[in-house]
Copies of this chain bind each other. A is one copy, B any other.
């Protein structure tokens, strides 16, 4: 049986017959010649059709039809990848159920978000949309790889839980065989338990937040990247691990998804050897906010991001020492000044990317903290 060749492997087969399989990405019918652009998982391949019967056949095959094409690989510097398939015979493998709602061959999709989502199985096929998934996959590889080499153990913790993780608000309720259960908002308590087992653990998995806010900063469900480690001095140790993890994620994107980066025009950041840190108190002063403000507004975060870029040439800035009132009860206070905490937010280009900190580690401190909060 003839083996399939991927688009990206055609160059090595110039002068030889080859079989490619994939989706009809685009057809261009000229006066005496037709072009078929075929898309497979490795990219695009150009097929040149000059035979009249095949041109008519191609005319009847709509975009997104899955086809097999047998032809001769011919070098052509102008074709994508430097080769094209000539003298093709085309076999239809699977016809689309309907004409695609968007033209996937256009450089960008002009559709609004509703169309992108309603027709996601089709619109994700667009190279720029694909790139988003590829970047996510590459990032996760880097995340896990960095933690694996630092002795972290991967865990998977329950998503159906008997109690709510945070304040008790914003949890989804599940009918669990007639009793109420909840969807985990975070793996944090499980992570903490597992630190008692492995010292260092991480989890990649869904979390659920019943926050009825229609903003770009709220999602009912998302994939959370969580890590936790014991035997630290304070939150700076956590930030140091985070720095290495981010560097590995960026490196993984560069090395395994460079085409996806180029495709969606992203600028991959450099992660500095040491992430610059500013205390929350100083951050408020820097942006001209009231010193009693309990949190940073999005506008403040943008200003701080610009400041870090100007002062440190860094896309990343850690703000440490958030006020105790705005952090969970289990956050370790700042030694010497319990108004502040051993915690941080990591800003990336002025947007909160990661939250971290040091937890309490004595039962009595937990009890005191809970009592203080009533």
Chain A residues proximal to chain B, CB less than 8 Å:
4, 21, 40-42, 93-95, 97, 120-122, 124-125, 130, 133-134, 136-137, 140-141, 144, 148, 151, 153-156, 158-160, 172-177, 183, 193-194, 196-200, 205-206, 208, 210, 212, 220-221, 223, 231, 361-363
Task: Return A355 CB to nearest CB of chain B, in Å.
Answer: 20
Q: Which residues of B contact A21 (CB under 8 A)?
A: 231
Bound state CA distance, A200 and B134, in angstroms?
12
Bound state CA distance, A200 and B221, in angstroms?
24
Bound state CA distance, A120 and B193, in angstroms?
9
Task: Return A225 CB to nearest CB of chain B, in Å.
Answer: 11
| Interchain CB contact under 8 A, B42 and A151 | yes
Which of A136, A148, A199 has the most chain B CB atoms inside 10 A of its CB? A199
Tell me the nearest residue of chain B to A94, going by C-beta.
Answer: B361
Bound state CA distance, A158 and B173, in angstroms?
17
Known A41-B199, A159-B206; further 16 A-B contacts with Cβ < 8 A: A21-B231, A41-B198, A41-B200, A121-B194, A121-B197, A125-B197, A133-B153, A133-B155, A137-B154, A141-B148, A156-B206, A156-B223, A160-B172, A172-B175, A172-B176, A174-B183
Bound state CA distance, A140 and B122, in angstroms?
30
Bound state CA distance, A174 and B176, in angstroms?
9
Bound state CA distance, A285 and B357, in angstroms?
62
Task: Return A336 CB to nearest CB of chain B, in Å.
Answer: 19
| Interchain CB contact under 8 A, A221 and B158 | yes
Q: List 27 A-B contacts (CB under 8 A).
A: A41-B153, A94-B362, A95-B363, A120-B193, A121-B193, A121-B194, A121-B197, A124-B193, A130-B197, A133-B155, A133-B198, A134-B153, A136-B154, A137-B154, A141-B144, A141-B154, A144-B144, A159-B159, A159-B206, A159-B221, A172-B175, A172-B176, A173-B174, A173-B175, A174-B175, A205-B205, A205-B206
Tell me the nearest residue of chain B to A129, going by C-beta.
Answer: B197
Give how many copies assemble into the complex. 2
| Interchain CB contact under 8 A, B154 and A140 | yes
Task: Return A55 CB to nearest CB of chain B, in Å.
Answer: 25
Tell me whether A212 and B177 are in contact in the complex, defined as CB-CB below 8 angstroms, given that A41-B198, A120-B193, A198-B130 are known contacts.
yes
Q: Which residues of B contact A231 (CB under 8 A)?
A: 4, 21
Bound state CA distance, A177 and B213, in angstroms?
11
Q: Which residues of B contact A136 (CB under 8 A)?
A: 154, 156
Tell me the nearest residue of chain B to A40, going by C-beta.
Answer: B199
Task: Return A146 CB to nearest CB of chain B, in Å.
Answer: 13
Q: Which residues of B contact A40 (CB under 8 A)?
A: 199
Bound state CA distance, A83 and B140, in angstroms?
38
Q: Which residues of B contact A94 (CB under 8 A)?
A: 361-362
| Interchain CB contact under 8 A, A153 and B125 | no
| Interchain CB contact under 8 A, A196 and B121 | yes
Task: Return A124 CB to nearest CB of chain B, in Å.
Answer: 5
Tell me the nearest residue of chain B to A223, going by C-beta.
Answer: B156
Bound state CA distance, A212 and B176, in angstroms?
10
Bound state CA distance, A130 and B155, in angstroms?
11
Task: Return A26 CB to nearest CB of chain B, in Å.
Answer: 17
